[in-house]
Structure 1
Amino acid sequence: MRRTVRITVALLVTFTLAAGAPAVAGPAPSTPQWAPLTYSSAPADNPLKGFIPYAGSYETFPYSMEWFYLPLRDVMTGPHQFRWNALEKQLNDIASRGHQAVFRFYLDYPGKPTGVPQYLLDQGLATHAYDDFGNNGVSVAPDYSDPRLVSALEDFITAFGRRYDGDPRIGFITLGLIGFWGEWHTWPYDGWTNPENWMPDTAILTRILTEYDDAFDRTRLLARYPSPQNKDLAIGYHDDSFAFETLPPTSWHFVQRLIDEGVTDKWRTEPVGGELRPEIQSCVFEEPVSCGQYEDYTASVDQTHASWLINHAAFAPTGYPGDEYFRAVQAAKSLGYELTVTEAAVSAQRVSVRIANRGTAPFYYPWTAELAALDDQGRVVARWQTGWTVTGIQPGADPTELSTVINTHGLRRGSYDIVLRMANPLPQGIPLRFANTSQDTHSGWLHLGTVTTR
């Protein structure tokens, strides 16, 4: 159902002329006089895209989102009992920096104490000890087939969605919960590498996926692997071995999995994210590259259409040196959308724009546009809520035309700058900036043209 709604919204953006508010009824205005706007690269810290660090305040690289993990036991204290303080603290800390959060809940993180809710362990939930991945017996893998655990996960997801779906502090949620690091695998305990298979069966995975899809209609979700069980759900994907095990034809590489499941175009409606493989974060932007194993970064972006990647090395105290920094900035900019207003037609009665996407993925959230008139002191003297949204404008497609009536009758005689912005629903959040030279001529606004009232 949600997929149908999103596709419909995208089509409406493309083909519908959105009416502004307040709107003035009357005869259609004369043919608009289009004027070109000059392209200029958008900033690397545009919202909901780019490189992201583990949660914290950093000065070494531009960013708009922050990443964290959270053990389920910190929130779930009993059957249908939840204490959200730990999640609230993380979200509020990140929002205080004007950023959105990307995160995952886990049950089993190698090397960290178990994330399994204590009440389930007290009830006798079976667990597996292991030493792999440097765990040395610290964490334990739960029995994912235990009906008590499955029921607990479904209850948690329902409560999670009811409380946080659409929360502006959240950028994206990766599904988590299942497998090592919440990455939906228990390799080498997969029934092939080792005879034991600790993963839940397909029926249980389907239940978890369906519960997530039902619980979240607005906040965007990402699964670790494309599968027959999630291919038709409104859930995107995250590649946590980006530019390392991404490109085809190897069967377990991310893009080959997309190909095999027939979801290579799913990025058009559902987001792709992930993590630049930790082993290559510090070397992949060198020239020449010294990484022992890596894949072409640009090809990985082009074939996945990723919007964001964890790349904590960019935010280390030393960051990237010299030209390596500028290559990393360009690499961050290449992720996700890059929206530019190619032309604008501005009069005292109507404003129209044509918007193109020069990026590699669409913008996935239905943020709405606002127009304003600024006086010669740069003060906002009138505002118009347009109803416009840039959701779903596809890379490489013809520009999307949007138009709305404005009412300037209440303004004093004089000249006014007409400006546009896509406000972030997060209070004090980073606004979406267009890739134009006239962006931020007035802070946060894109200058479209000038009107004169008489």
Structure 2
Amino acid sequence: MMRCLLTAALLIFSCLHARAQEGKGVYKNRTFFHLEPYWDSAKVCSNPHKGWFIHYYDNSISNYGDRLAANDSLPDFPGLNDIYLRLAWCYLEPEEGVYNWELMDSVINRWTGWGHTISFRITCKETNGPPYATPAWVEKAGAKGKMMQDGKAWAPDYGDPVFLEKLENFHKAFAARYDGKRWVEYIDIGSIGEWGEGHTAFSGWEDVPVAVVKRHIDMYKRCYKRSVLLISDDFIGQRDADDGADYEIYHYCLQKGIGFRDDSGNVKWYRELGFGPSCIRSPELYSKVYRKIPVVLESDHYSDAVKYGMWKDGAGFEKAIHETHATYIGFHHYPREWLLENKVLAGKLANLSGYWYFPKFAMMPDTFRVHSRRNYLRMTWENHGVAPAYHRYKLSVQLINKQTGRSFRQDLPESDNRTWLPREIVAEQYKIDISKDMDKGKYELLINMRDACGFHNRDIQLPLKKERETVSGWYKLGEVTVN
């Protein structure tokens, strides 16, 4: 008798253990699936509107896309998102009203065709390349400025009315062509200072007056009605005078809905000044904006970061991602050469940047009933990234009959992934409409998330083990009953 009881107990334990292994449980007439055992944080999720960007044009038209073969889309670059075009105004308007859009469009058409978005910065002062980053015809039209760096670079008076008039005319034309395109990720306010960073390190270290900075911000807001606008943190943190102007500019940006980027990750100077391993001088700037506007983080020139021992294993840059809540991350270097030395790290940081969704629990009635209005699916999510998503993705559910293979699909409009903030556990409940035509029986329950915003139209990859993922981009939650 004792042997029979022991055998029965072992059988019960085995069944319960098997069920626990499947992640399925029952709680007060509800079925739930615990999905945490199926998480795969090592899986690289290459998802839209987050991850890496590369400098295709980097303050010139020769770096860093010039070493890529014409047909090289970097398909092996983990989490590659946008192609950053940062170049001087002079390249695009060599004569007043005459525009060289082909310089941009040739790159845009190729990379958007490969599924990548585009981001922009147009500068008015450079330290290398043509002396006139602002086209020479602007000075000839009467704009004030001065030649700097022993005649190597002309710096405009950023508040000069002629300069501002010609600059706004250019941005009106640029906006008419590119503003609001579905493949535009963001546009930098880059019309002041060295490389568009807002400081004058090679032009006398004179602070640009706050009123002038505000005029430039207002000009961008007038021209760009539909695109995300960002500004370098150096507009605030690199000012010499300790007169409160830095935070006046900061609060003006907040008021105008301008986001921030940091171009100073891994910069040796900031480490020497004592700003810590992340080298982020003003991490508090990003806390006010990252919930609504994406943050961009850019490393120092890779060759310099390696030379001065700033890159190492990328730990400092990873810390900077956490501190800035960065959604888009990048570096100054040739992408193929950089990738050879950093592919594993690239995948790790692509996951961390922006959003990174982990489904934790799925709960529903113990049986989906054909004639019931109380069928539901409750999903619990964790965002292990450092920021929310800024696009709303479509969540869908699918039921597949295990005997006949017939399937039923439904979108879940109650879902809003933009509210899934980092380090929070969020639950959403979705109404499930069971068709009266559905056969009774056992069904596989699957979910799918998709960017259907109009450009990508692609699935959102979830960090679940391969055994839970179907070929079509759907993820298995478990087996349910329809009656």
> Shorter-chain TM-score category?
0.7 to 0.9
Q: Within 5 Å, give how 1:326-341 maps onto structure 2.
A: 326-341=344-359
- The 8 Å contact of residues 302 and 331 in structure 2, kept in 1 or not, is answered as no
Amino acid at match of 2:447: V
Q: Determine whether 1:441 maps to 2:470.
A: yes
User: Relative to structure 1, is the Cα distance of residues 362 and 428 closer, same or farther in structure 2, using a 3 angstrom cutoff?
Assistant: closer
Q: Within 5 Å, give how 1:38-437 maps onto structure 2.
A: 38=36, 39-41=39-41, 43-55=44-56, 57-59=73-75, 61-62=77-78, 63-73=80-90, 75=92, 84-113=101-130, 114-117=132-135, 120-131=138-149, 137=152, 139-157=153-171, 160-161=174-175, 164-191=178-205, 197=206, 200-213=208-221, 216=224, 219-225=227-233, 226=236, 227=246, 228-231=248-251, 232=254, 233-244=256-267, 250=275, 255-259=280-284, 264-279=287-302, 283=306, 296-311=316-331, 313=333, 315-317=335-337, 319-321=339-341, 325-345=343-363, 349-373=375-399, 382-384=409-411, 386=413, 388-409=415-436, 415=443, 417-425=445-453, 427-428=455-456, 431-437=459-465
Give, in whole Å, the separation in 2 of the partners of 1:379 and 1:96: 35
Give, in whole Å, the separation in 2 of the partners of 1:190 and 1:424: 49
- The 8 Å contact of residues 69 and 106 in structure 1, kept in 2 or not, is answered as yes
User: Relative to structure 1, is the Cα distance of residues 330 and 177 closer, same or farther in structure 2, using a 3 angstrom cutoff?
Assistant: same
User: Relative to structure 1, is the Cα distance of residues 384 and 300 closer, same or farther in structure 2, using a 3 angstrom cutoff?
Assistant: closer
CA offset digits 1:273-298 (Å, max 9, x no partner): 132111457749x9xx6869x98333
What is the Cα deviation at residue 242 of structure 1? Answer: 0.5
Q: Which has the higher contact order (CA 8 A, sep 6+)?
A: 1
User: Relative to structure 1, is the Cα distance of residues 371 and 128 closer, same or farther in structure 2, using a 3 angstrom cutoff?
Assistant: farther
Give, in whole Å, the separation in 1 of the partners of 2:429 and 2:171: 38
What is the Cα deviation at residue 77 of structure 1? Answer: 7.7
Q: Which has the larger radius of gyration?
A: 2
**After alignment, is 425-434 or 234-243 more displaced?**
425-434
CA offset digits 1:280-329 (Å, max 9, x no partner): 57749x9xx6869x9833332222222222235583247334xx542443
Where 1:298 maps in the other structure, the secondary structure is helix
What is the Cα deviation at residue 224 of structure 1? Answer: 0.5
Give, in whole Å, the separation in 2 of the partners of 1:95 and 1:358: 28
User: Relative to structure 1, is the Cα distance of residues 290 and 300 closer, same or farther in structure 2, using a 3 angstrom cutoff?
Assistant: closer
**After alignment, is 401-410 or 228-237 more displaced?**
401-410
More helix by share: 2
Where 2:164 maps in the other structure, the secondary structure is helix
Give, in whole Å, the separation in 1 of the partners of 2:160 and 2:119: 29
User: Relative to structure 1, is the Cα distance of residues 82 and 353 closer, same or farther in structure 2, using a 3 angstrom cutoff?
Assistant: farther
CA offset digits 1:242-275 (Å, max 9, x no partner): 1326678559x9744344xx65443233222132
Give, in whole Å, the separation in 2 of the partners of 1:218 and 1:343: 37
Give, in whole Å, the separation in 2 of the partners of 1:86 and 1:31: 63
Give, in whole Å, the separation in 2 of the partners of 1:365 and 1:400: 19
**After alignment, is 396-405 or 424-433 more displaced?**
424-433
Amino acid at match of 2:446: I
- The 8 Å contact of residues 130 and 140 in structure 1, kept in 2 or not, is answered as yes
Amino acid at match of 1:96: G
Match of 1:6 in 2: none
What is the Cα deviation at residue 332 of structure 1? Answer: 3.6
User: Relative to structure 1, is the Cα distance of residues 427 and 257 closer, same or farther in structure 2, using a 3 angstrom cutoff?
Assistant: closer
Match of 2:11 in 1: none
User: Relative to structure 1, is the Cα distance of residues 445 and 290 closer, same or farther in structure 2, using a 3 angstrom cutoff?
Assistant: same
Give, in whole Å, the separation in 2 of the partners of 1:97 and 1:379: 34
Alpha-carbon RMSD across the aligned residues, in angstroms, is 3.9
Give, in whole Å, the separation in 1 of the partners of 2:472 and 2:481: 22
Give, in whole Å, the separation in 1 of the partners of 2:29 and 2:222: 46
What is the Cα deviation at residue 229 of structure 1? Answer: 1.9
CA offset digits 1:47-77 (Å, max 9, x no partner): 2222322346225532122222243345558
Give, in whole Å, the separation in 2 of the partners of 1:313 and 1:188: 22
- The 8 Å contact of residues 95 and 426 in structure 1, kept in 2 or not, is answered as no
- The 8 Å contact of residues 95 and 429 in structure 1, kept in 2 or not, is answered as no
Give, in whole Å, the separation in 2 of the partners of 1:359 and 1:342: 15
Amino acid at match of 1:47: P
When normalised by structure 1's length, the TM-score is: 0.74
CA offset digits 1:15-48 (Å, max 9, x no partner): xxxxxxxxxxxxxxx9863322232225253222
- The 8 Å contact of residues 364 and 377 in structure 2, kept in 1 or not, is answered as yes
Amino acid at match of 1:45: S
- The 8 Å contact of residues 372 and 418 in structure 1, kept in 2 or not, is answered as yes
Stretches of structure 1 that go unaligned for 5 or more consecutive residues are 1-29, 192-196
Where 1:408 maps in the other structure, the secondary structure is coil
CA offset digits 1:351-388 (Å, max 9, x no partner): 33222211112212234434445677999763426253
What is the Cα deviation at residue 215 of structure 1? Answer: 5.1
User: Relative to structure 1, is the Cα distance of residues 331 and 127 closer, same or farther in structure 2, using a 3 angstrom cutoff?
Assistant: same
- The 8 Å contact of residues 342 and 399 in structure 1, kept in 2 or not, is answered as no
Identity, % of aligned pairs?
21
Match of 1:16 in 2: none
What is the Cα deviation at residue 344 of structure 1? Answer: 2.0
Give, in whole Å, the separation in 2 of the partners of 1:356 and 1:416: 23
When normalised by structure 2's length, the TM-score is: 0.70
Amino acid at match of 2:282: R
CA offset digits 1:96-132 (Å, max 9, x no partner): 1111122211223332334435653441333433338
Match of 1:18 in 2: none
